[in-house]
Amino acid sequence: MSNRVAIIGTGSIGIDLMYKTINSKELDLRFVVGRRSDSPGMKEAMLRGVATSSEGIAYLEDNIDKIDIVFDATSASSHAEHDRVFCKHNKFVVDLTPAKLGELCVPVINMESLKDSRNINLITCGGQASLPLAYALKNSCEKVLYVEVISSISSDSAGIATRENLNEYVETTEFALRSFTDAEASKAILNINPAVPQVCMQTTLYARCEKVDIERLRSNVNSVVKKVKEYVPGYNLVLEPLVDSGSVTLAVQVYGSGDYLPEYSGNLDIINSAAIAVAKFKSKVSGAGSRAVAIEERLA
């Protein structure tokens, strides 16, 4: 068995992931756990008939042999505690917090090279939206000197954990921007917008680089946008690369699929869709042929 999933964290991210996991033919959702039995997310999970617990990480440890994959949708500091347990039991975890304990992953860039990693970190929503563009840029110029990303998300899509983790959001996004482009300097900004009707997630990338090949940049950007669209259909280029000597600016908008939260919450959708893509990949590479057993067990 290799496709049995547990979700820890019952905020917006956790519950949207719950629906995405339920909707996935390849994944088998076993538990949704959190800390408060009366949280709206927990109620939603119960309503859907998913096995839940408010014992959080303790419950998962007690049932650790019944799961293959954990999605951690809590907070950076909580993930650090949780991962001690996952590490002890050698359990595979997809970390959706900006804790950056595991390998940084953007599915279209490096998922295939991480098949043996136990902890995969999905950076941040702004990271998932911008890094494919930053990577396309890196492959279209001699050197990226500086890369900067500003993301606007709607207030309604920014849960408490996101708000408490802004410092980690900025640090982790900046770190990933440098890691994936080899730029010496990076900057990340997150802007939470309360406008009604809600704004859709938008991410703008600014960069300075040496010897940009404009044609190649256009083609690399179009091709990476197409690849991201395979798991996030609402990922759209809204500002074609503007190149002014060594400065490059481009922007994407990210509409979500509306599984749990409204479509404007592209920020949640892009990181969750990345999580699902990683889980499917992991389940495929580590347990071919086990699906029949999983179904049998569920029926029993």
Partner 1 sequence: MKNKHISISDCSLRDGNHAIKHQLSVEQIANYCKGADRAGLDIVEVGHGYGLGASSSAFGVAKVDDETMLSVARENCTRSKLGVHFVPGVGKHSDLDMAIEIGVDVFRIASHCTESNITYRPIQYLKAKDKMVYGVLIMSHMADAEKLLKEASGMKAAGADGIVLMDSAGYSTPDIVSEKVSVLHENLGITIAYHAHNNLGLAVANSIAAVESGAEIVDATIKGFGAGSGNTQLEAVVAVFERYGYKMNVKFKDLVNLSLYAENSIISSVPDIKAINIMTGMHGLFTGYGTYVQKVSSDFGVDIFELCERLASRKLVASQEDIILEEASKLARRAV
Provide the binding-site residues for partner 1, judged by CB under 8 A.
148, 150, 152, 155, 160, 163-164, 166-167, 169-171, 187, 189-196, 199, 202, 204, 206, 238-239, 247, 249, 251
Between 175 and 216, whose beta carbon lies closer to partner 1? 175
Active site includes 209? no
> Catalytic one among 87, 105, 125, 200?
125
Question: Shortest Cβ distance from residue 171 to partner 1 (Å)?
Answer: 6
Would the annotation count 161 as a binding residue? Answer: yes
Structure tokens at 3: 């496709």
State yes or no: 188 annotated in a binding site. no
Cβ atoms of 274 and 129 within 8 Å: the answer is no
> Which C-beta is closer to partner 1: that of 163 or that of 298?
163
Taking the C-alpha atoms of residue 40 and residue 6, their distance in angstroms, rounded to an integer, is 18
Helices (H) and strands (E) in the chain, counts: 11, 12
Nearer to partner 1, 37 or 167 (CB): 167
Beta carbons within 8 Å of 98's beta carbon, 6+ residues apart: 76, 121, 123, 124, 165, 168, 169, 171, 172, 173
Q: Where are the alpha helices (DSSP H) in 24-165?
A: 40-47, 56-62, 76-88, 107-110, 125-138, 160-164
Least gap, CB of 245 to partner 1 (angstroms): 13
Q: Which own/partner pairs from 48-55 qualify as long-range (CB within 8 Å, at least 24 positions apart)?
A: 48/18, 48/22, 50/18, 50/22
164 is in an annotated binding site: yes
Is residue 55 part of an annotated ligand binding site?
no
Residue 132 Cβ vs partner 1, minimum distance, rounded to whole Å: 18
8 annotated as belonging to a binding site for a ligand: no
Pair of tokens at residue 200: 């859709």
Question: At closest approach, how far in Å is the CB of 138 from partner 1?
Answer: 17
Using the minimum distance from each CB to partner 1, give the nearer residue, 169 or 180: 169
Rounded distance between C-alpha atoms, residue 226 and residue 161, angstroms = 31
Q: Any idea which residues carry the catalytic annotation?
A: 125
Q: Which residues are annotated as a binding site?
A: 10-13, 157-165, 267
Residues making up the annotated binding site for NAD(+) are 10-13, 157-165, 267
